[in-house]
Structure 1
Amino acid sequence: MNLTSSFVLLGFSDLHYNHVALFSTILVIYTLTWISNLLLISSIMISPQLHTPMYFFLGNLSVVDIFFSTVTVPKLLSCILHGRTSISFLGCFLQMFFFMFFGTTDSLLLSVMAIDRYLAICFPLYYTLMMNDKVMFILSCSCWLVGAPHSLLHTYNVSQLSYCEDRLIPHYLCDVTPLIKLSCSSTTFTEIFIYTEGSMIVSIPFLFVVISYVLIGRAIVKMKTRSSRSKAFSSCSSHLMVICLFYGTVIFIYFRPPSNYSSQYDRMVSMAYTIITPMLNAFIYSLRNQDVKQALRKLIIQCFPIF
């Protein structure tokens, strides 16, 4: 396979659906993703009360969500408009790299945010000392940097497989599983590597999330007053909802027996975490957090004084 070769993304051309309705819905969601996340980032930047570790990581998450959806949605919209859409060999694996890179960064940021909540709730007196600017910067940079070699290794391994004349990808993006299924060479080593290393890069952050919230739960139960428990739970509830949305769909897609693979179901579920979740993250944090809502009001008043 050379760089001038190409694949064909099937998209949803094998399914019966209302093209106009689906295109319009996804375009609206994509537009809301940009607007909601940009508003959240702007609110965090201009509001001194949001200059805390939690909102610093949340701002990083919003940046990742914008890029994560941008990697896939434009090509998906093209597939809906034109049916089967060609994508070059280079373009396909570039999309795979950035898709995995931003997805991994998203996962790592969610785990760091869980650790941040654990420190804030379980060690409130030492929180500012432990989560200082230097630690914050190192943790956020680590989330961005770790995803790059992971994504590069997976992309390189899959790109080295041999692909025959049938280059029809039953998906709207160049993902690992459909491309492995498409290969006409031995994929044993690639699959072992992907499931071993890939499991680690997802399961380790997820383990940190689980452990953090088990310890947070124990700390909340031990709190003496109802108001303290309510305040502690409130600071975690938005993050828990985002975690359930993200990891629930990722585990369904990538951690199930190969015999259960279904391109139709994969396409539907993939839409949840590539299109819907990046939009919902900003809304969940904005609508369930009084500090963010106040910052948003302030931002809107500054931009539109008439209101």
Structure 2
Amino acid sequence: MIEATNLSKRYGDKLAVDSISFTVEPGKVTGFLGPNGAGKSTTMRMIVGLDRPTSGHVTVNGKPYAQHASPLTEVGSLLEAKAVHTGRSARNHLRALAATHGIGDARVTEVIEMTGLDSVAKRRVGGFSLGMGQRLGIAAALLGDPRTLILDEPVNGLDPEGVLWVRNLVKYLAREGRTVFLSSHLMSEMALTADHLIVIGRGRIIAAGPVQEIVDRSTRASVQVRTPHAARLAELIAGPEVTITSSESESLVVVGATAPAIGEAAAAAGIALHELTPVRGSLEDAFMSLTQDTVEYHSTFGHDAPQDAPAASTDVPAPGQEASR
């Protein structure tokens, strides 16, 4: 379990983390979300003793990290995948870490196999792609078979197979009763992986709770309607609390009216419906709504971009290929 109480961190004039309190419980995957500069990485660094809090305190499994006699068996962390000696092989990097805790070579081999590093275990880490570096970082975090796992952007640079593997791994570890705390900027992946969320903005917690609960209270559900009589139906269901938009002549998106109410209004008027689909808000919608006033670095593309601006690439690496940034 991770417990933070009134945790703050100041760097000169900048208050990076502002008196936050939270608990990360065992048996579930807790996601840590926030815009760039929100204080996520600083918070994670304070948990494992890499940064000293300006005020407040944080414990892992009942103690400050530095007070654990065998920290690798208590907490496994991936905070900076490239924090390795680039001249060492992956195996020797892990063996050096293992030696600090009397962990044998058998466990080193086990985490190498678990993370898919078998074929590159003897290669120097300096030649690794971003994705392979992430796998090595996860292997190091798992080395002590820890009770608590802290992962900062663990799927960064991984191919689709690697992303799926991380998702299944953290869910499996949580089911074993371990504490799992991870951050990611991939909202779709976090929606599939996390059970509970902590959302931070400008150093303060702005939301916390089960994933669907946060989505439901931060977004408005809509109803997708298709009918040859869209204009007439829109007139029937219009009201002060109802918002209706249309991108096609026979299509409506309705916010503020339920699917049963729309269906009953259509039936009473003899209007045929070709589609009546409730649409729940997404985690991405909820995140954007929650953090819109806390984003430190704003971009203009997508808001005022010209109509003929190029679309963002959606290419992803093929399964089995790691991204090499």
What TM-score do you get using the length of structure 1 for normalisation?
Answer: 0.21
- Structure with greater strand share of residues: 2
Choose between structure 1 and 2: higher helix proportion: 1
Relative contact order, CA 8 A, sep 6+: which one is greater?
Answer: 1
The structure with more radius of gyration: 2
TM-score (norm 2): 0.20
